[in-house]
Amino acid sequence: MKIERGLADNSVNAYKDDILKLKVFSEEQNIEPKKITSEFLQNFISNLYDIGLSARSQSRIISGIKQFFNFLILEDELEKDPSKLLELPKIGRKLPEVLTIEEIDLIISKIDLSSNEGHRNKAILETLYSCGLRVSELINLRFEELFFNEGFIRIIGKGNKQRLVPVSKSVEKEINIYVNNFRRHKKIKPSQESYVFLNRRGSQLTRVMIFTIVKKLADKAGIIKNISPHTFRHSYATHLLEGGANLRAIQEMLGHESITTTEIYTHLDKQFIREAIISYHPRNKKKEI
């Protein structure tokens, strides 16, 4: 998965954990891996349901099992695939939380610019929102991937796939302020110099740190929505769609392999339209007494 499919460490570890669940279950039932049957796998999935695992988690585990047995077939370890008849549970499409432009401006306004970290955090949030990046893409952003003169940044996404994302002047400005006035005075650890965003010890930022930054600022701004760094990516796509951007263009900017992944934002757009009609149409307004 890591070498041939180029999956991230987090994805590889998640699949490992899922296969480990199957391993433990088969050991409890005294079943050797090569003797696992379709019926046995059905019992395993039923057990996952019984212990209260969500449909989404079950779906991921089944997907991992299918890929695992497919690998065993390719390696000539098995002749028949016992997972062939496994069906993925139906998962209701959950619409992601989205921030309004006013809420994003409010969150950014709560950043304390009297500290070095404040200017870094402002550059981080501007980049997340203006470029629609995943957290992993943000923390791995390097200087050699900034092409400000051309108006683009190069992103290394899932599966090491590259894409060029237009970068706004506001992002360029905030990154330059952070880099030229604050970052250059920081003692940077060897091998970390190429990363744009660093922690106070001069090392690459972690996903957890970005989550913490966003949560603290959202609390300061009094935002009651359940938001994360990924919310800025959802907001980026939604605001593009509301502004009339082509869905294929949004797919390209987000780095989605399939257009069906991007299509969730059309549902958000319809929800936005519905809420607007309910709020402003005279037949939907409550009569004042």
Q: What is the pLDDT of residue 141?
A: 94
Whether 86 is covered by a domain: the verdict is: no
Statement to judge: residues 66 and 177 lie in one domain:
no
d(CA 45, CA 204): 40
Whether 267 is covered by a domain: the verdict is: yes
Whether 264 is covered by a domain: the verdict is: yes
Q: How many domains does the chain have?
A: 2
Q: Can you give the CATH number for the domain in which 141 is found?
A: 1.10.443.10
Statement to judge: residues 13 and 139 lie in one domain:
no
Span 86-138, pLDDT tens digits: 777 766 556 678 899 999 999 999 999 988 799 999 999 999 999 999 999 99
d(CA 228, CA 236): 13
Distances, alpha carbon 48 to alpha carbons 43, 54, 56, 82, in Å? 9, 9, 11, 18
Q: What is the pLDDT of residue 154?
A: 94
Q: Percentage of the chain with pLDDT > 70?
A: 89
d(CA 17, CA 132): 29
Statement to judge: residues 199 and 119 lie in one domain:
yes
Catalogue the active-site residues.
134, 158, 230, 233, 256, 265
Which domain does 20 fall in, by range? 9-74
Span 133-168, pLDDT tens digits: 999 999 999 999 999 999 999 998 877 888 999 999
Statement to judge: residues 46 and 112 lie in one domain:
no
d(CA 130, CA 165): 10
Q: Which residues pair with 166 in a beta bridge?
A: 152
CA angle 171, 172, 177 (to 5 degrees): 100
Whether 136 is covered by a domain: the verdict is: yes
Statement to judge: residues 57 and 122 lie in one domain:
no
Whether 26 is covered by a domain: the verdict is: yes
- From the CB of residue 94, how many other CB atoms can be counted at a distance below 10 Å? 8
Statement to judge: residues 38 and 117 lie in one domain:
no
Statement to judge: residues 251 and 190 lie in one domain:
yes
